[in-house]
Amino acid sequence: MTDRWQRFKKSALFHDFKGDKVAIVSFATLVLLFICAFSAPLIAPYNPYDSANIDIMSSEIPPVWMAGGTNDYLLGTDAQGRDLLSTMIYGMRISIIIGICAVALQAVIGIIIGLIAGYYGGKLDGFFMRLADVQLSFSYLMVAIFVSAVLQAAVGVGRFAEIAVPFLIIVIGLAQWPQYARTVRASVLAEKKKEYVEAARVTGFGAHRIMWRHILPNCMSPILVLSTIQVANAVMSEAALSFLGLGMPVTRPSLGSLINAGFEYIFSGSWWITAFPGVLLVILVLAVNLLGDFLRDALNPKLYKG
Amino acid sequence: MVAFIIRRIVQAFLVMFIISSIGFAIKHNVGDPVWQITGISVSKAERERIREQLGLNDPVYIQYINFLKNAAHGDLGQSYFYKKPAADVILDKAPATLELVLVSSMIIVVLSIPLGVYAAIYPKRIFSRVVMGGSIVGVSIPVFLIAIMGVYLFSVHLGWLPSFGRGATVNVGGWRTGFLTVDGWLHLILPSLSLSSIMLPLFIRLIRSEMMEVLESDYIRYAWAKGLKKYRIWFLHAFKNTLLPVITVGGVQLGITIAFTILTETVFQWQGLGFLFMEAVERSDTALLVAYLMFVGMIMVVVNTVVDIIYGVVNPTVRIAGTK
Amino acid sequence: MKKLACLALALLIALSLGTAVNAKSLNLAMDADPVSLDPQVQLSGGMLQYSHMVFDPLVRWTKEMTFEPRLAERWERIDENTVRFYLRKGVTFHSGNPFTAKDIVWTVDRLKRSQDFKGLFEPFVGAAAVDDHTVDLVTKKPYPLLLNMSTYIFAMDSVFYTGTDERGLPKDAIVKTGYSFANVNESGTGKYRVTHREQGVRNVFEAYKNYWDAESPGNVDTIILTPIKKDATRVAALLSGDVDFIMPVPPQDYDRIAATDGVKLATMPGSRVITFQLNQKRREEFTNPKVRQAIVYAVNNEGIAEKIMKGKATAAGQQAPEGYLGYVEELKPRYDLAKARKLMKEAGYPKGFECTMIAPNNRYVNDDKIAEAVVSMLGRINIKVNLKTMPKAQYWDQFDAQTADIQMIGWHPDTEDSANYTEFLLMCPNKETGYGQYNSGNYCNPKVDELILACQSETDRDKRAAMLQEVERILHNDAAFVPLHWQHLSWAGKDALNILPIVNVMNFPYFGDLVID
């Protein structure tokens, strides 16, 4: 373990990282946000899921520094009377979980299809790439409608709140796999021509082994770069779905559904309900994107491959 | 090449078939249209009669066969809400979306090329850093946030721009255009800017990274060594080679942009296809829903095919399946 | 001759000048536009608003809930089943055809065929013309709501709508999902003609120059109706000056509009009650009246009215609002958390239980927020509720199938009468009679059914009121449903618009009477 860490410390990636202030700051921000999100029950002043903490009579209290704000609610309360800070921390946890799991799902589907399509080529390739076309023409919105209907039929409408997280993971995972499939396929096409693949084939390794043990590791850098971007995308997609009313239920809000719920209050003066979650979302996504940018520059997948 | 095109056309039909099936599967999940076309106090029995009349009680496969039969003749069914053939409604609304996408694409092209090229040539300059920094912030702000901020600032607060709709339109041979009136252009500004806010940063970054890659390639180094003028190297040699991947990505993104209009059109009440789709979902206007899916699917298939062909024509090193 | 021509010319100039000075146009934004030009194709608020612009009813409601003569100048009861209407003379349709008793007979016949209206006109035998300007409305048995129903009789031009169109289809056909002559053509007697219609985008109405009502103070000649579905966009359009008048106004923006110079807000109490039904067939707990009462006591509906509805809703303790026959003064909202907890303990559920709830998210004002608030309120008596909100397109399917234990429904009686609430929401569900069609709580009390059926043919107002009030009391004591509030109606417009005189509790603004300063 320490050995690996030592090796990592000597690597070019770490060297670049030390020299890049933006990367350090965004990494630190991200770590901080993750810690906050996953220790939500410990650090959040209230538990927003416990109805004992929610009183409609204390709704729309402004942040503490504004007239009418109280020390009880640092960033004010939302339209239901929930402490906004706590709700945001819990909401961020949901957003991050959905973002990472959805990307994991995309990656699994996309890598398998991309590998197969790129390695075998021909009819299989044509089929999968057309499938990707179909998938892309159905934006995640349509996938969301379809999957929600299927799940609702399966578990009953009433229980939907409990499965909303897996639902969004499936929707965003299903909707975006073509991005991975196309990237992986392109890398595989480039790798396939190389000598080591030929050598492995001559040695008599099976297609499975060549694909997974030889080609895939060499496609890792584009996958890594894509993954960071996709996490940011997934968090944004979740927000967009919530904006259109297909996301997390109002009782367990994500950052996106919080922003959406607060939108209606922008004109009325309760701007904080939307603004704080909005800023948090942008910071989260920005940090991920900046880190992805750093990785792209550092690993420079295309140049690296030559 | 001919074999390739024929193959793609066959594939396109297959894709459309799959899309129609999926569309048909979704259709039954967006609600019951009968509830939407009757008042709430209408009796159950009456509603059942209407359902029977509309053929909604037939088994799904029979409905699907009927749909395919009619679709073969270009009839995609009746829109319950508009009380017109769904295909007519789609064609009626398509110009709005196409004009919006066109103007956004223009904005993207006009801004992303100079900015991206500049950032690639002078990566260390302050302005380049500002552009790159701005673009990454741009990617990180959800489009609906930008759209609402735009409305709040420019329409409500400053009162400079209209907040919704297409404004005055002129009907030119069945194509309702907003390009011919000042009002139409004013209405276009906010929606097209917020629509381009998604893709513009992506394109700036794409052009920059492609261009930087090209600038580091061997033949550009040769060109420098040969003592060619810098503008010639940048714009003739380097930029030309940057364009290819940009066109490929651009084609695919164009399709995605059309899908993205759903958000923008919803916020601005832009009467195009995306808005139509959301309304169709909310009203369970099922025939219209399927027609929309077919139409967008067709655009995606056409765009992808054209991109593949261009890619093959421009870049002979890429082998197109079928030309072996 | 020359003199006469001069005079005519002068008159013409004066007239045109006069209209040019007074003629105002109105940019109107609503959440939706009429789905058709045929007033009988769908029974909905939007279509009735349209009907009041382009057509005229026999009588119409005033703000004070009395009847005002329109196409009928006066009326009298002839026998217990018949009311005779004396029609206005000299009225013409937009096509130029004169309006006569024949048109009323034709209109009522068509109403009885209309899929949406036939239910309302079930108690009627029909209309019979006595002479050109006298018509009798005949019911099957004594019917106390005959005049209420006459507000739905919007005279259609029988000559215009008779025969076949250029496609060879009958002009009087009522078609919900496709083309029909009446869906795209109109000829009514109303103040406005439809001169341009791009459905879902823009509708233009222009004043009909031979309109009969010369006494109306209204001075709006052109109305441009633009549907804007999103609340925030609609408000933004008013604030940015793109439109002059919006309806409805979302509660969260009341303060902002009231505080903005140049625009003003008008609200009035409405009669749509918002309720939750507790399904006794799905949950054994809900068959226990104590549990139902505990829930009613746990719901702070005054808090919801004050906070979520911004004070523009009246917290309810019963179905019918004040002014309705069935209204009982002493039935008040019952929020009392301590009592709710005590009732839960008495009922044997001190630890509570878990159940499901569904609510629409685009049907009633702030419906999803209300549902969310009720979920946390029930959490306080240890009832854990799983809530799912959805667009109305999917909601009614689910409501009808009773897929959740607690379901939201709002109701506004088409008849503007107390009995209508109970007939649809709380009478024992009966497939044959259709009563209790929206009773997803499956509450069933034979005494309530008996009282409601009896008052259907009770024409004595006082006796009827006593029966309806008795019903409300029983429902209250049984905690048959969870009452939340009556939604207020809201409109907002530029200062120059005199909004209040033209609006009413049915939410049919009489635009013909609108005065713009």
Distance CA B147, CA B130 (A): 22
Q: DSSP per residue over A259-271, as a string? A: HHHHHTTTTTT-T
> Quick check: B30 and A149 CB within 8 A?
yes
Average pLDDT over residues A67-89: 88
pTM: 0.83
Using the structure block, give the residue that is written with the tokens 């009231």.
C258
- Taking CA–CA distances from B253, the nearest residue in chain A reads A136
Question: Coil, strand or helix: which one is C164?
Answer: strand
Looking at residue C138, its pLDDT comes to 95
Question: Between the CA of residue C245 and those of B184, C57, C490, C516, what are the distances in Å?
Answer: 22, 24, 11, 11
Partner-chain residue, chosen from B31, B156, B279, that has the shortest CB–CB distance to C239 = B156
Same-domain status, C338 and C445: yes
- Identify the closest residue of chain A to B212 by CA–CA distance: A303
The pLDDT-based confidence of B322 (bands split at 50, 70, 90) is: very low
Chains touching chain C through at least 3 C-beta pairs below 8 angstroms are A, B
| Model pLDDT, residue C5 | 56
* B137 belongs to a structural domain: yes
Residue B36 at interface with chain C, using a CB cutoff of 8 Å: yes
3-state secondary structure of C182: helix
Query: What is the reported pLDDT for A55?
Result: 84
C258 and C276 inside one domain: no
- Which residues in chain C have their CB less than 8 angstroms from residue A250's CB? 368-369, 372, 387, 389
Question: What does the alpha-carbon distance between residue C433 and residue C412 come to, in Å, rounded to a whole number?
Answer: 20
- Closest Cα in chain A to B29: A149
Minimum CA–CA partner of C391 in chain B? B282
Name the residue type at position C212: W
> Which residue of chain B has the CA closest to C121?
B42
Q: What angle separates helix A220-243 from helix A164-192, to the nearest 10 degrees?
A: 150
Residue span of the structural domain in which C363 resides: 269-488
Does residue B226 lie within any of the structural domains?
Answer: yes
Interface of chain A against chain B, CB under 8 Å?
121-122, 125-126, 130, 133-134, 136-139, 141-142, 145-146, 148-150, 232, 236, 239-240, 243-244, 256, 259, 263, 266-267, 278, 281-282, 285-286, 289-290, 293, 296, 302-303
Determine how many CB atoms are found less than 10 A away from the CB of residue C44.
17
Q: Which of C94, C128, C150 is the last residue of a domain?
A: C150
- The pLDDT tens digits of the residues spanning A99-131 come to 999 999 999 999 999 889 888 888 888 888 878
Tens digit of each residue's pLDDT (9 = 90 or more) over B214-230:
888 787 888 788 877 87
Cα within 13 Å of Cα(A185), Cβ side: 22
B163 contacts C233? CB cut-off 8 A: yes
**A155–chain C Cβ distance below 8 A for any pair:** no
CB pair distance less than 8 Å for B35 and C228? no
Same domain assignment for residues C31 and C61: no
**Gap between the Cα atoms of C49 and B279, Å rounded:** 21
What string of DSSP letters covers C381-411? Answer: TTEEEEEEEE-HHHHHHHHHHT-SSEEEEEE
Smallest CA–CA distance, residue C166 to chain A, in Å, is 40
CB B310 within 8 A of CB B247: yes
Q: Is residue B147, in this structure, part of any structural domain at all? A: yes
Which of the residues A47, A51, A163, A274 would you substitute to probe the C interface, choosing the one with the greatest number of C C-beta atoms within 10 Å?
A: A51
Q: Are residues C341 and C422 in the same domain?
A: yes
**Domain C-terminal end among C150, C185, C209:** C150
Same domain, yes or no: C258 and C278: no
Whether residues A282 and B299 touch (CB distance < 8 A) is answered with: no
Same domain assignment for residues C370 and C482? yes
Residue contact B84–C229, C-beta within 8 A: no
The verdict on C133 and C179 lying in the same domain is: no
**Shortest Cα distance from B137 to chain A (angstroms)?**
6
Q: Note whether C307 contacts A159, CB cutoff 8 Å.
A: no
Length of chain C: 517
Q: Give the nearest chain A residue to B20 (CA atoms).
A: A134
Residues C492 and C238: their CA atoms lie apart, in Å, by 8
The verdict on residue B312 lying in a domain is: no
Q: In 10 A of CB C63, how many CB atoms?
A: 15
In a domain? residue B196: yes
Report the range of poorest mean pLDDT among A280-294, B97-111, B150-164, C273-287. Answer: B150-164
- Are residues A251 and C255, on separate chains, in Cβ contact within 8 Å? no
DSSP string, B243-265: HHHHHHHHHHHHHHHHHHHHHHH
Q: Residue C449: what pLDDT? A: 94
Q: What is the CATH number for C353? A: 3.10.105.10
Residue B304 lies in a domain: no
**B266 in contact with C, Cβ within 8 Å:** yes
Half-sphere exposure of B214 (CA within 13 A, CB side): 24
Q: What residue type is assigned to position C311 of the chain?
A: G
Structural domain includes residue B54? no
Cis peptide before C248 (omega within 30 of 0): yes
Residue A66 has pLDDT above 60, yes or no: yes
Q: Which contiguous run of DSSP H or E holds residue B47?
A: helix B44-53
Give the model's pLDDT for residue A304: 33
Residue C274 shares a structural domain with residue C232: no
Give the model confidence (pLDDT) of B93-123 as tens digits. 889 998 998 899 899 989 988 898 888 888 8
- Our measurement of the distance from residue B255's CA atom to the centroid of its chain's CA atoms, rounded to an integer in Å, reads 4
Question: Inter-chain contact B142–A236, Cβ cutoff 8 Å?
Answer: yes
> What is the domain count for chain C?
3
- The reply to whether residue B301 touches residue A266, judged by beta carbons under 8 angstroms, is no
Size of interface A-C (CB pairs under 8 A): 99
Residue in B closest to A287 by C-alpha:
B140
Query: Do you know the residue count of chain A?
Result: 306
**Cβ contact, residue pair B278, A244, below 8 Å:** yes
Instruction: Examine residue C397 and state whether it is found in any structural domain, yes or no.
Output: yes
Calculate Rg over the CA atoms of chain B. 24
pLDDT of C352: 92
Among the listed residues B116, B312, B117, the one whose alpha carbon sits nearest the alpha carbon of residue B233: B117
Task: Check pLDDT > 50 for residue A305.
Answer: no
C226-247 per-residue burial string, b: 16 or more CB within 10 A, e: under 16: bbbbbbbbbbbbbbbbbbbbbb
- Tell whether the model's pLDDT for residue A144 goes beyond 80: no
pLDDT beyond 60 at B324: no
pLDDT reading at A151 higher than 80: no
- What's C62's domain CATH number? 3.90.76.10
Which domains does chain A carry?
22-46+62-281 (1.10.3720.10)
For residue B135, give the CATH number of its domain.
Answer: 1.10.3720.10
Q: Which of residues 254-283 of A touch C (CB under 8 A)?
A: 261, 263-270
- Quote the tokens at residue A264: 């209606």
Could you tell me the residue range of the domain that residue B200 belongs to? 87-285
Cβ atoms < 10 Å from Cβ of B256: 15
Report the residue from B15, B25, B152 with minimal CB separation from A133.
B15
Q: What is the 3-state secondary structure (H, E, C) of C87-135?
A: ECCCCECCCCCECCHHHHHHHHHHHHHCCCCCCCCCCEEEEEEEECCEE
pLDDT score, position B315: 58
Put simply, the answer to whether C376 touches A263 (Cβ < 8 Å) is no
Listed residue (C226, C241, C222) closest to C22, CA to CA? C222
Identify whether residues C403 and C454 lie together within a single domain: yes
The domain total for chain B is 1
ipTM, 2 dp: 0.79
What does the alpha-carbon distance between residue C173 and residue C178 come to, in Å, rounded to a whole number?
A: 11
Token pair belonging to B157: 């607060």
**Same structural domain, C187 and C233:** yes
Q: Report phi then psi at C198, rounded to 5.
A: -120, 100
Q: Are residues C410 and C294 in the same domain?
A: yes
The pLDDT tens digits along chain C (517 residues) read 455 555 555 555 544 444 444 678 999 999 888 999 999 999 988 999 999 999 999 999 998 889 999 999 999 999 989 999 999 999 999 999 999 999 999 999 999 999 899 888 989 999 999 999 999 999 999 999 999 999 999 999 999 999 999 999 999 999 988 899 999 999 999 999 999 998 888 999 999 999 999 899 999 999 999 999 888 889 888 988 889 999 999 888 888 898 889 999 999 988 899 999 999 999 999 999 999 999 999 999 999 999 899 888 999 999 999 889 999 999 999 999 999 999 999 999 999 999 999 999 888 999 989 999 999 999 999 999 988 888 887 888 889 889 899 999 999 998 889 999 999 999 999 888 889 999 999 999 999 999 999 998 888 889 999 999 999 999 999 999 999 999 999 999 999 999 999 998 888 999 999 999 8
Please tell me the total number of residues recorded for chain B in this structure: 324
C117 lies in the same domain as C197: no
Please say if the pLDDT value at position A225 is more than 70: yes
The pLDDT score that the predictor gives to residue B319 is: 45
> What is the rounded distance in angstroms from the CA atom of residue C83 to the CA atom of residue C139?
9
pLDDT of res. C4: 53
